[in-house]
Amino acid sequence: MSVLSTHYNDLLQNTSDELTGNDFPWLGSLRQRSKDSLLVSGLPSLRDEEWRYTNISAIEKNEFKLAPRNLAVDQSLLSKALLNHCHHLVFIDGYYRDELSSSQDLPEGVTVVPLSAAEKGEQETQFKSLINASFNDEAEHGFTHLNTALFTDGVLVCIPENTVVEKPIQVVCLASSNSPLAVSNYRNLILAKAGSKATVIESYYGSQDMCYLTNVVTEVVVETNANLSHTRLQAESNQAFHMGGVYSTLEKSAMFSQSNFTFGGLISRAEIHADLGIESSCILDGLFLGQDKQHLDHHTRLNHKQPHAVSQELYKGVMADQSTGVFQGRIVVAEDAQKTDATMNNRNLLLSERANIDSKPQLEIYADDVKCAHGVTIGQLDETAIFYLRSRGADEKMAKNMLTFAFANEMVERISLEPLRHKVMDELLKQFPQTDILKEWL
């Protein structure tokens, strides 16, 4: 931990009027506890074991502040972010924008509202029951405390029992070009009740070459026999900072699939945690591509707490130029979690001698009747395959780009939702501007 700077100390003390939920006294108490914790712990440092590969001193040095409300919207950025055939909730610089959103025709009883519009009564009850519901002391750190203390908005999603939401719910978070050195804190709360099914997509974009900080916490509860698909697409500015986490709880026979795609940010960190109940199923997919001097950090933690749960995890990283990637995956099998079946794989490709990847898979097994495995590879492109493609008419650069694209595209092909798959493909193809690879061919 590090001592909190005077600027962040002042930010904590002087922003209460800008925050959502001031009508809820219990939320004020929760915020104050997080402020107190942050003042004691500070932001993470390299001395913290979980942060030993990621230096966030550049974030501490910048004096980020809350942006004003209702700034102008970059329409081209918004158009790029929106997915077809979805319900949309749009946030700009940390604030909900109703005129840009569209969430009509939801099934009866489904709640999809910004936290800033949560009403007293049932919505407040849902709000209160979900916030911090999927946290534990080990998951908390300075940025989660900062989020709880200062989140300005986010979404509350509640899917009633045995309800299927056919159209995906997309949460679009944009950083405008009019808010340099802005910090946007989002808190997303998602509940899939027993027997329900839904898809939620979070998309993060910002104007290129803008420096700002996005700090997100998403909490998810998937009840008995419910099926929830969740995706994070992070395509922030190449000068921005992004801290994001998804913390989920799976009850009996719940199914949760989480996909994490990271393309943007100068320094980015994503934490994906899941607590698995009896006979539950969790799938984690991830793809991160780094260029220039990007630093892309990914931490996953799967807590198998009860018997007969299944988890499958596959993360791929591609690092070019002087970029750095981090993958720390951890599977913990509790003593009572017999018949656990868990696999974790991390595959990484280095495209430059100056690129770097730190991979640290971990298994902690306290049960004796389990099936657990992990695998890691870090390597460069196959020279034999390059030679083969060159012998078929491709030049060296084309051959390398084709092989790199094929390596990364495996994760894109796993996306079942067509509009999302095309959007991720667009971001992937930006990494290969000098090739003749065309989206129409794929």
For residues 386 and 371, give the distance between their C-alpha atoms in angstroms, rounded to a whole number: 37
378: left (phi over 0), alpha (psi -120 to 50) or beta: beta
Flag whether pLDDT at 388 surpasses 70.
yes
Q: Taking residues 236-264, report their average pLDDT.
A: 97
Dist. CA 280–CA 192, nearest whole Å: 14
What is the pLDDT at residue 134?
Answer: 82
- Report the percentage of the chain scoring pLDDT > 70: 97
Side-chain half-sphere exposure of 219, counting CA atoms within 13 A? 20
Q: In the predicted model, is pLDDT for residue 4 greater than 90? A: no
Average pLDDT over residues 250-270: 98
The amino acid at residue 96 is Y
State the Cα–Cα distance between residues 222 and 226, nearest whole angstrom.
Answer: 6
For the sheet containing 155-159, what is the strand order? Answer: 111-114, 155-159, 183-192, 213-222, 241-250, 267-276, 295-304, 324-333, 356-365
Q: What separation in angstroms does the CA of 146 have from each of 30, 31, 43, 172?
A: 12, 9, 9, 21
d(CA 152, CA 77): 21
pLDDT given at position 441? 43
pLDDT tens, 228-238? 999 999 999 99
Q: pTM of this prediction?
A: 0.95
Q: Check if the beta carbon of residue 144 is closer than 8 Å to that of residue 186.
A: no
pLDDT, position 392: 85
Residue reference for tokens 């060296």: 396
Is it the case that residue 240 has pLDDT exceeding 90?
Answer: yes
Domain boundaries, the chain: 65-381, 382-442
Question: Is the model's pLDDT at 408 over the cut of 50?
Answer: yes
Q: Report the candidate in 346, 342, 344 with the shortest Cα–Cα distance to residue 371.
A: 342
pLDDT for 201 beyond 90:
yes
The DSSP element (H or E) to which 124 belongs, if any, is helix 122-130
Looking at residue 393, its pLDDT comes to: 83
- The conformation of residue 416, written as its DSSP 8-state character, comes to -
Work out the end-to-end distance of the chain between its first and last CA atoms, rounded to an integer number of angstroms: 47
Query: What is the pLDDT confidence band of residue 2, given thresholds at 50, 70 and 90?
Result: low
pLDDT for residue 312 is more than 60: yes
Rounded average pLDDT over 317-339: 96
Contact 169, 157 (CB under 8 A): yes
Q: Residue 249, Cα to own-chain centre: how many angstroms?
A: 16
Mean pLDDT score across all residues of the chain: 93
Residue 1, pLDDT > 60, answer no
Mean pLDDT of the region 174-195: 94
Sign of CA dihedral 13, 19, 25, 31: negative
Is the distance from CB of 378 to CB of 407 less than 8 angstroms? no
Tell me the two tokens of residue 356.
């770097």
- pLDDT tens digits for range 66-114: 998 888 888 999 999 999 999 999 999 999 999 999 988 899 999 999 9
Q: Counting Cβ atoms within 10 Å, is residue 219 exposed (0-12), middle (13-18) or buried (19+)?
A: buried
